[in-house]
Amino acid sequence: AAVVPGIVKPLPDAWFTARGTNAETRFEALAGTGHHTPVDRFFVRNHTSTPVLDASDWSLTIWGDGLRGGRSVELTLDDLKRLPAVTRSAVVECAGNGRSFFTTQQGQTVSGTAWTLGAIGSARWHGVRLGDVLRRAGLGRGAVDVMPRGLDADYVTADGTNLGRVRRPLPLSKALDDVLLAYGMNGEPLPPDHGAPVRVLVPSWIGIASVKWVGDIEVSAEPLFSPWNTDFYRLFGPAHPEGGGAPLTRQTLKSAFELPWNASLEAAAEHRLTGRSWSGAGTVARVEVSTDGGGTWHRARLHDTPRRADWVRWSAPWRPAAPGAYTLLARATDTTGRVQPETTVHNTQGYLFDAVVRHPVRVV
Ligand code: MTE
Ligand code: MO
């Protein structure tokens, strides 16, 4: 396939905070929109830059010793579109979403993109089940791992090490469970920034699992490794196992207000605070809001039926009596019983921040 590097969507200032080829959604840009993030406001996280691939020239190669007889199978986009199609709603969220709060809220040093809370988006993904594709390719009995790989450029780290193309192994059990090969997003063909013509969509798992611009998938009878499950996307630091924790899989629990940082709100007026909460385990069971920095909590009203791997919209009324500086908090509980904590245990790469974020506003 022809790869044209260096083409990135222009990022409207009003919606994104652009950081190189990474762009995060401003949560206030979601106020009043529907459940799904409009494609032009959906965060972008690229290791290099968006390649523009010709769909008619694209094919997917499935290969490896985990296929029967060690064969390899090639599928075009038309081949994929002949398989039974499915549509599902799910978020994609970067494992580092919320990373900046390790520093600003907990005074800790972490490496990586300093996202606030906008490295997440929810979309309706349209495509085929990875399991259908793998079974048709002829899964061998001994297959254990699959590793999708992107067609974007090699990732070269700041110190000049070439880590090759973005790829990350997935246990076969997850691959056969709910993973999609998506070619549509919110009713449109998948756009270039989100992996056109086809991306992997791994519900509930950290964003890196959802490999964009997928070009090949290795199916292996042995466990697979890549820098994205050895050097990155594990918890490192004094509070974690020596040499790092297990490769990260599920996302954590978070909440965000659809309000600008330091928003101005009128005193003695009725406001409707809105936001979204999500969890990588179970579904969101309850969201509470505090307008006095955590002294008292009020149950927010949920505006979506909570579903796995997706966020829920919520609202809470607030009538601030007096002008001044206030701290708003939103705290979610999921059906596994987890509650967002006051602090997140530090890890050096700043993954899975789940503490309640202290959102400052001014009442004027
Ligand atoms: N896939 C490829 N091929 N290259 C990448 O750089 N970035 C990953 C993942 N898939 C990436 C990729 C990361 S870290 C995240 S968080 C998600 O894509 C972001 O998906 P989005 O840009 O569609 O929001
Ligand atoms: Mo990410």
CATH number at residue 342: 2.60.40.650
Q: What is the dihedral of CA 51, 57, 63, 68, to 10 degrees?
A: 150
Write down the pLDDT at residue 27.
Answer: 94
Q: Which residues does 140 contact at the CB level (< 8 Å), separation at least 6?
A: 65, 66, 67, 68, 69, 219, 221
The protein residue whose alpha carbon is closest to atom 17 in ligand 1 is 207
Number of domains in the chain: 2
Task: State the residue range of the domain holding 218.
Answer: 16-230
Closest residue by Cα to residue 214 from 75, 121, 322: 75
Q: Which residues does 79 contact at the CB level (< 8 Å), separation at least 6?
A: none
Q: Do 220 and 321 lie in a common domain?
A: no
Query: Does residue 217 form part of some domain?
Result: yes
Pair type for strands 180-185 and 145-150: unpaired
**What is the 42 CA–ligand 2 centroid distance (Å)?**
13
Q: Which residues does 44 contact at the CB level (< 8 Å), separation at least 6?
A: 8, 9, 11, 21, 22, 23, 50, 193, 194
**What is the 302 CA–ligand 2 centroid distance (Å)?**
27
CB 318 within 8 A of CB 273: yes
Residues in contact with ligand 1 (CB, 6 Å cut-off): 42-47, 92, 94, 121, 150, 152, 166, 194, 207-208, 210-213
CB 278 within 8 A of CB 284: yes
Tell me the backbone φ, ψ of residue 326, rounded to 5 degrees. -130, 155
Query: Does residue 237 form part of some domain?
Result: no
Query: Does residue 289 form part of some domain?
Result: yes
Closest residue by Cα to residue 236 from 120, 102, 334: 102
Q: Do 190 and 223 lie in a common domain?
A: yes
Write down the pLDDT at residue 361.
Answer: 98
Q: What is the pLDDT of residues 40-52, one digit of tens each?
A: 899 999 988 888 8
Pair type for strands 59-63 and 214-220: parallel
Q: How confident is the prediction along the chain (364 residues), in pLDDT tens digits per residue?
A: 344 444 455 555 556 665 457 889 999 999 999 999 999 899 999 988 888 899 999 999 999 999 998 889 999 999 999 999 999 999 999 999 999 999 999 999 999 889 999 999 999 999 999 999 999 999 999 999 999 999 999 998 888 899 999 999 999 999 999 999 999 999 999 999 999 999 999 999 999 999 999 999 999 999 999 999 999 999 999 999 999 999 999 999 999 999 999 999 999 999 999 999 999 999 999 999 999 999 999 999 999 999 999 999 999 999 999 999 999 999 999 999 999 999 999 999 999 999 999 999 999 9
Q: Do 59 and 153 lie in a common domain?
A: yes
Instruction: Pick the last residue of a domain from 198, 230, 262.
Output: 230
Write down the pLDDT at residue 18.
Answer: 53
CA distance linking residue 211 with residue 88, whole number of Å = 17
**What is the 44 CA–ligand 2 centroid distance (Å)?**
9
Write down the pLDDT at residue 71.
Answer: 86
